[in-house]
């Protein structure tokens, strides 16, 4: 595909429960981004209810596109392309974004690129300011994934390991629910953990070797702890101590595995992306780890750690530069190395 004219890509992200639209320049400058969450819709279900997520995306998507385009005076000539998440994610949610992008592309005569959401997270540290340094060791920790990868260069990805059960973000969310916090639970656990003492001994599964993760045993141990001592979930002090113990275990798992991987795959930077990269404690641990190895820590700004369309638009520029367009087939199960 020849490089189309235009200095911006319009990004569209609807893979889960956030409807997001953004305009991003090739160097990662974000001109506009609007992200609408659906927490109030899903709260009663204790998790994302797929059917309601699709319906909410359908209502939100075109008005969000209109508001974001308004920022550039509706000047469509500035659009080089439209980049939309085609997977992984909830199929109904993905289809709303893909369908909207396809229709806009047809109406405005713009190329539409189907982007892998995970490649979007990967590029998130380069939004606003370019931060990625290669070769890089990357941990992607989100609500749907926990993956460890080595990136020798910008377009090369070797998957080293992933979770065998729950993702780290999912585990944060489930522990938050056990302690009575509303969605999204991760930020509440992150905040409370800073106030508590890690006085409960929780397991650190898969800590001894390899690059795989497992979080379900840790989650079940927290559930058993609260079953045995229900009063813990009834006071701020108790909740803070449970959160601190849980977060300590998660951070140790992340740090030990990253440390081992850095020894096996010498890198110029350690990169942590995905929603859990918004955790203040995880960020501090990664900075310290990078310092000990004498390398750079590449973290997305807080706004760009959780799901957003700006990272999808920036990844879209990579697809354009490399002449890759995998088409618009929505695929709920795309893997990290897929396009
Ligand atoms: O990347 P993301 O927005 O969505 C997926 O692609 O899954 O990640 C969402 C996850 C949720 O599990 C959420 O609780 C977690 O990221 N999260 C956090 C924080 N902010 C969001 N976890 C820990 N600390 C935070 N501050
Ligand atoms: Zn995500």
> What are the pLDDT digits (tens) for 290-310?
999 999 999 999 999 999 999
Asked whether residue 172 falls in the same domain as residue 280, the answer is yes
Mean of the pLDDT values across residues 199-228? 93
At residue 280, does pLDDT exceed 90? Answer: yes
Question: What is the distance in A from the centroid of ligand 2 to the CA of 14?
Answer: 10
- Model confidence at 48, pLDDT cuts 50, 70, 90, reads confident
Reported as a single tens digit per residue, the pLDDT across 122-157 is: 999 999 999 999 999 999 999 999 999 999 998 899
* 14 touches ligand 1 (CB under 6 Å): no
Question: What is the distance in A from the centroid of ligand 2 to the CA of 185?
Answer: 15
Asked whether residue 75 falls in the same domain as residue 154, the answer is no
Instruction: Determine, yes or no, domain membership for 2.
Output: no
- Nearest ligand 1 atom to alpha carbon 280: 26
Asked whether residue 138 falls in the same domain as residue 284, the answer is yes
- Model confidence at 1, pLDDT cuts 50, 70, 90, reads low
At residue 250, does pLDDT exceed 80? Answer: yes
Q: Which residue has the higher pLDDT, 41 or 139?
A: 139
Instruction: Determine, yes or no, domain membership for 338.
Output: no
Here the CATH number for the domain that contains residue 169 is 3.30.420.40
Asked whether residue 20 falls in the same domain as residue 141, the answer is no
Instruction: Name the percent of the chain lying above pLDDT 70.
Output: 100
Asked whether residue 172 falls in the same domain as residue 291, the answer is yes
Task: Please give the full DSSP string across 32-54, using - where no structure is assigned.
Answer: EEEEEE-HHHHGGGTS--HHHHH
Among all bound ligands, the one having the nearest atom to the CA of 191 is 1
Instruction: Determine, yes or no, domain membership for 331.
Output: no
At residue 211, does pLDDT exceed 90? Answer: yes
* 120 touches ligand 1 (CB under 6 Å): no
* 279 touches ligand 1 (CB under 6 Å): yes
At residue 323, does pLDDT exceed 70? Answer: yes
Q: Which residues contact 88 (CB under 8 A, 6 or more apart)?
A: 15, 116, 117, 118, 144, 145, 331, 332, 333, 334, 335
Asked whether residue 149 falls in the same domain as residue 82, the answer is no
Asked whether residue 141 falls in the same domain as residue 117, the answer is no
Asked whether residue 162 falls in the same domain as residue 285, the answer is yes
pLDDT at 184: 85
Asked if 126 and 322 touch (Cβ cutoff 8 Å), the reply is no
Alpha carbons 181 and 192: distance in angstroms, whole number? 10
At residue 2, does pLDDT exceed 80? Answer: no
Asked whether residue 112 falls in the same domain as residue 155, the answer is no
pLDDT at 183: 85
Alpha carbons 306 and 278: distance in angstroms, whole number? 7
By residue range, what is the domain housing residue 105? 8-124+304-321
Instruction: Name the percent of the chain lying above pLDDT 90.
Output: 92
For the chain, what is the domain count?
A: 2
Mean of the pLDDT values across residues 202-222? 91
Q: Which two tokens stand for residue 140?
A: 């992607």
Q: Which residues contact 138 (CB under 8 A, 6 or more apart)?
A: 122, 147, 148, 149, 150, 151, 270, 271, 272, 273
Asked whether residue 22 falls in the same domain as residue 143, the answer is no
Asked whether residue 46 falls in the same domain as residue 170, the answer is no
Helix or strand (DSSP H, E) at 122: helix 117-123
């Amino acid at each position: 595909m020849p490089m189309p004219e235009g200095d911006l890509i319009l990004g569209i992200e609807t893979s889960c429960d956030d409807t997001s639209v953004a305009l991003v320049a090739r160097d990662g400058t974000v001109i506009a981004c609007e992200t609408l969450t659906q927490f109030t819709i899903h709260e009663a279900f204790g998790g994302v209810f797929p059917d309601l997520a699709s319906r909410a995306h359908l209502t939100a998507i075109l008005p969000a596109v209109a508001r974001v385009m308004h920022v550039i005076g509706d000047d469509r000539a500035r659009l080089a392309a439209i980049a939309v998440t085609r997977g992984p994610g909830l199929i109904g949610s993905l289809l709303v974004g893909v369908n909207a992008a396809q229709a806009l592309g047809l109406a405005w005569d713009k190329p539409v690129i189907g982007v892998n959401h995970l490649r979007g997270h990967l590029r998130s540290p380069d939004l606003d300011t370019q931060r990625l340094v290669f070769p890089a060791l990357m941990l992607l920790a989100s609500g749907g994934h926990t993956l460890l990868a080595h990136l020798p260069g910008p377009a090369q990805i070797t998957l080293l390991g992933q979770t065998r059960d729950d993702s780290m973000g999912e585990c944060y969310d489930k522990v938050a629910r056990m302690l009575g916090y509303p969605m999204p639970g991760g930020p509440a656990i992150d905040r409370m953990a800073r106030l508590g003492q890690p006085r409960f001994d929780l397991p650190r599964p898969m800590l001894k070797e390899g690059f795989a993760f497992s979080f379900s045993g840790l989650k079940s141990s927290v559930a058993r702890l609260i079953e045995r001592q229900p009063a813990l979930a009834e006071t701020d002090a108790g909740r803070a101590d449970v959160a601190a113990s849980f977060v300590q275990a998660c951070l140790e798992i992340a740090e030990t595995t990253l440390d081992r991987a850095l020894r096996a795959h010498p890198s110029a930077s350690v990169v942590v992306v995905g929603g859990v990269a918004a955790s203040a404690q995880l960020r501090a641990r990664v900075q310290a780890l990078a310092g000990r190895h004498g390398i750079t820590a590449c973290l997305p700004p807080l706004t760009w750690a959780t799901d957003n369309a700006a990272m999808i638009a920036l990844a879209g520029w990579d697809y354009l530069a490399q002449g890759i367009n995998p088409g618009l087939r929505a695929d709920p199960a795309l893997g990290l190395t897929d396009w």
